[in-house]
Structure 1
Amino acid sequence: MARSPNPTVDPALDAAALLRRVGFFGLFVVVPVVAQVARRASIILAPIAVVLLVIASVIDGRQRRLGPLGIRLLGSPAFLAGMLVVLWSALSLAWTPFLGSAAERLANLVAVILLTMMGYLSLPDRMRSANLYLLPLGVTVAALVAVLLGLFGEQLMRGSAEDDGALNRGLTLLALLVWPAVAWLRSRRRDREALAIALAVAAALAISPNLTQIVALVVGALAFAVTSFRPRLGVLLTAGISAGLLAAAPLLPFIARPIGAALFGPLAPGVLSLKSWQKVVTSEPLRLITGHGFETALRGRFAGLVPMNAPTTALFEFWYELGVVGSLAAAFALYASIRRAGRDNPLLVPGAMAAFASAFTIACIGVGLTVIWWLTAIALTILVFVAIERGQFRTSRPKISRLRRIRDGEMG
């Protein structure tokens, strides 16, 4: 008896599937775990993983077309406002006193944007669940590693100067990636597993002495809870508060300083920092329009242009460097992006709002405006959310009783 021929096996497609699996394993597992012990893990490993995804999409032809995507982006107000921020940053090189370092930092920013676009184009329109389940696995393992480092860090790391601050960066990445992991599990109706991962990350952050990630997780949890019960209200609050704080940042020291002085005393470090911010605003009000130029908030501290105790927050740095044009454009881009994230896939909206709130909180507490590892962490979070959004194509299977009725009807 003749056997039916075996289906044709395409080695190229198998190689593409393998490269894609390795790329996702790198993004979802290796980067979060290694980031807990190596300061430059996300900067080095994330681009490698994205390149693997790009190569896989080129081999099997599953990448998105650049033309339709470009037309769609050019019609997006959020994208146009973001590009205005990048363009204004480039124009500010003409009046920044630190041209060399500013040009280098701008090049890093553009490189991260291009890397994100490459990753976005290389993600398939339909993601396999097997690849996406790597995300909660990676977050869980990273949380366990962070717990061990928090408890036995001195014995495990031996006080290595090379990896000093690595755990802080790793926990920051963990505070961001926990929300897409929770969103993915909830979309698969695995609420218990989602709660377990959230508790594991909370334990890892609680053991660390740095409060930045803890505050970010709490704010993200509040945004998640509000959006879960009132989706429209949660989106409006997240978008309005984030964009409003960024747009009205120069007014904050005048409002917060009297309150802080009454609660903690006029000589408290935070109050003195707000006083320095207030002095910067009042001494050069005209520079609020153009800004002082890219990279001046950081470099200016060591050159005597900015007080050493000035805030190290994105709210201050946006206005000091880019002025009203860059800051208001960034505020509009943030508002439009958050509102756009709340339109599709209702199951993912609470996680997206929590990620937005956590990232904005971290930026407000003290991460530099264009620190490369921070930009990479945000880009990675964006790609992860795009991936889980493209994994939502499954529909519910028909019940057996319904199948029987259909079969009986066909037989009748």
Structure 2
Amino acid sequence: MSRASHSTVDPALDAAALLRRVGFFGLFVIIPVVAQVGRRATVVLAPIAIVLLILASALDGRQRPLRPALTALVRSPAFLAGGLVLLWAALSLAWTPFLNSGAERVLNLLATILLTLAGYLALPDRMRSANLYLLPLGVTAGGIVAVMIGLFGDALVRSGAEDDQILDRGLIMLALLVWPAVAWLRSRHRDREALVTALIVAAAIAASPKATQIIALAVGAATFLLTTVSPRIGVALTAAVTAALLALAPLIPFVGRPLGATLFGSGNPGVLSLKAWQKVVTSEPVRLFTGHGFETALRGRAYNLLPHNAPSTMLFEFWYELGIVGAFAAAYGLYVSIHRIGRDAPALAPGAMAAIATAYTIACIGIGLAVMWWFTTLTVTILVFVSIQRGQFRSRRPKISLLRRIREEREVEAP
């Protein structure tokens, strides 16, 4: 009588599975929800979730082989361009008037990048669908919480300017994470669920109308539709527009100011902001090459180093602080990486292009160059997209291969 075989239970594998599930639950569910009510929720919770994923991979080794993955990443043109931007930011500390705060900001930025890289390398080579379905669940739950806050916030928890800032950050998180959630659901042929998730996030933003989030979500939706209809045009246009805006940003005030003055009048605050930007460009043309140094755009207003009404946008601050070297390297890195995403993940291209367009719009409208909660939000979005990309694999062997193998075995056994 044959004895039943018993599978060996490995406590390390069970612990790794638990840690990974908790890490993804924090990354996909807790952060989108708690970001609606906590000012520093993303900055605090994201590193904890990533560390759990790293520990899980250290226990079961389900991640891709580290050396080939790291070698391919380091040799990629986008990574090299990003490294040049970070190196130039560090070198700019030599001529920045705010050395201490600038050095602290560079170290924080470097730590965030290293944490993102560690999380990327720790993600499993093949993601379980059960973990990835947590993403639309978390985005939907976060959207419902945001809707309730937008409709009844004054009577519940919202009572001041700081609370409005919390809601702004929470809605920005939802505006970014809705696209990977929609992309994942569509890749599983769950179009109805994807539509419901998108509508809930749109309702959350409409319940607390903020111009930045509304415009960014609209741009993301238009990019999603374009890339769905024509992936090649959508990817090419997204790459070209983002890179061109950053590379040619100093020309924006010279083109936008006359147009804005004609449409809105010369006294419009936006027109005056463009006038201040134009003055900065013309008064110190040499600084267009070197930049003024890291952290000068943020703190320069307090010390009257630049006009108080100068634009608070990534396009202005990138050029003001890092000059042509940093701006051109970042534009090239954007262009190459967007084309790489469209080529490596064609099924997810509409969602990826929509997320990039949404994030870029937010950065261009009113988020500065080195805001740490913004970088952490981007970290979460990047890891989420890598996760759903690694969930795109065949879970069953093609039936034709099995039939062919049976037929070949019968031919061999036949006399």
- Give the equivalent residue in structure 2 for 1:32: 32
Check 1:155–1:3 CA distance in 2 against 1; reply closer, same or farther (3 A cut): farther
Pairing of 1:170-181 with structure 2 (within 5 A): 170-181=170-181
Separation (CA, whole Å) in 2 of partners of 1:95 and 1:306: 16
Residue 198 of structure 2 corresponds to residue 198 of structure 1: yes
Q: Which residue of 1 aligns with 2:284?
A: 284
Pairing of 1:246-261 with structure 2 (within 5 A): 246-261=246-261
Name 1:226's counterpart in structure 2: 226
Separation in structure 1 between the aligned mates of residue 103 and residue 225 of structure 2, nearest angstrom: 41
Give, in whole Å, the separation in 1 of the partners of 2:344 and 2:395. 15
Q: What residue ranges of structure 2 are gaps of 5+ in the alignment?
A: none
1:239 partnered with 2:239: yes
Q: Deviation digits for residues 144-195 of structure 1, max 9, x if unmatched?
A: 0000000011112152676451110010011000000001001101111111
Residues of 2 paired with 1:73 and 1:385: CA distance?
A: 16
Matched, 1:143 2:146: no
Secondary structure (helix, strand or coil) at the match of 2:252 reads helix
Change (3 A) 1:62 1:403: closer
How many angstroms apart in 2 are the aligned matches of 1:393 and 1:325?
A: 40
- 1:322-350 CA distances to partner (integer Å, 9 max, x unpaired)? 00000000110111111110002321011
Residue pairs, 1:46-65, within 5 angstroms: 46-65=46-65
Contact 2:290/2:324 (<8 A) preserved: yes
- Structure 1 unpaired stretches of 5+: none
Summarize the Cα distance change of 1:344–1:249 in structure 2 as closer, same or farther, 3 Å threshold.
same
SS in 2 for 1:194: helix
Is 1:348–2:348 an aligned residue pair? Answer: yes
**Which amino acid counterpart does residue 181 of structure 1 have in structure 2?**
A
Q: Give yes or no for contact 2:158–2:164 (8 Å, CA) kept in 1.
A: no
Instruction: Assess, with a 3 A threshold, how the Cα gap between structure 1 residues 219 and 164 changes in structure 2: closer, same or farther.
Output: closer
Distance across 2 between alignment mates of 1:113 and 1:394: 31
Provide the rounded CA distance (Å) in 1 between the counterparts of 2:328 and 2:353. 21
2:320 matches 1:314 = no
Query: Structure 2 CA distance, aligned partners of 1:162 and 1:217?
Result: 23
Separation (CA, whole Å) in 2 of partners of 1:295 and 1:20: 37
Q: Deviations over 1:346-401 (max 9, x none)?
A: 210111100110000000000111100000011110000000000001256657x9
1:215 is aligned to 2:223: no
Aligned to 1:323: 323
Tell me how far 1:5 sits from its aligned partner: 3.3
Q: Which amino acid aligns with 1:361?
A: T
Percent of pairs with identical residues? 69
User: SS state of the match for residue 64, structure 1?
Assistant: coil
Mean CA deviation greater in 156-165 or 41-50? 156-165
In 2, Cα distance between the equivalents of 1:151 and 1:47?
A: 31
2:383 paired with 1:383 = yes
CA distance in 2, matches of 1:334, 1:287: 23
**Counterparts of 2:396 and 2:234, CA distance in 1:** 27
The answer to which of 58-67 and 219-228 deviates more is: 58-67
Partners of 2:74 and 2:161 in 1: CA distance:
46
With normalisation by structure 1, the TM-score equals 0.96
Cα distance change on mapping 1:158 and 1:210 into 2, 3 Å: closer
Q: Which residue of 2 aligns with 1:7?
A: 7
Provide the C-alpha distance between the structure 1 equivalents of 2:312 and 2:115, rounded to a whole number of angstroms.
26
Letter in 1 for 2:18: L
Q: CA RMSD in A?
A: 1.8
In structure 2, what is the equivalent of residue 106 of structure 1?
A: 106
Could you list the per-position Cα deviations for residues 183-223 of structure 1 after superposition, in whole angstroms to 9, with x for gaps in the alignment?
10011011111111111111111111211111111101111
Name the structure 2 match of 1:357. Answer: 357
Q: Given the superposition, is the C-alpha separation of residues 395 and 345 from structure 1 closer, same or farther in structure 2, using an over 3 Å criterion?
A: farther
Residue of structure 2 equivalent to 1:80: 80
Shift of 1:404: 8.0
Q: So what's the TM-score if we normalise by structure 2?
A: 0.95
1:222-275 superposed Cα distances (whole Å, 9 cap, x missing partner): 111111111110011000000000000000000000010000000000000000
Range with greater deviation from structure 2 (98-107 or 160-169) = 160-169
Give distance in 2, aligned partners of 1:208 and 1:160: 14
Question: Which structure 2 residues correspond to residues 129-168 of structure 1 after superposition, within 5 A?
Answer: 129-159=129-159, 163-168=163-168
Count of matched residue pairs: 411
Name the counterpart of 1:122: 122
Cα distance in 1 for partners of 2:36, 2:305 equals 35
State the alpha-carbon separation in 1 of the partners of residues 404 and 85 from structure 2. Answer: 59
Aligned partner letter, 2:264: F
Higher mean C-alpha displacement, 64-73 vs 232-241: 64-73
Change (3 A) 1:71 1:403: closer
2 CA distance for matches of 1:131 and 1:68?
26
In structure 1, what is the equivalent of residue 43 of structure 2?
Answer: 43
- Residue type at the aligned position of 1:369: L
Worse-superposed segment, 202-211 or 348-357: 202-211
SS in 2 for 1:20: helix
CA–CA separation in structure 2 for the residues paired with 1:57 and 1:70: 15
State how far apart, in whole Å, the 2-side matches of 1:342 and 1:282 are: 38
Say if 1:405 and 1:166 are closer, same or farther in 2 by CA, change over 3 A.
same
Letter in 1 for 2:381: T
Runs of 4+ in 1 over 6 A off after TM superposition: 401-412
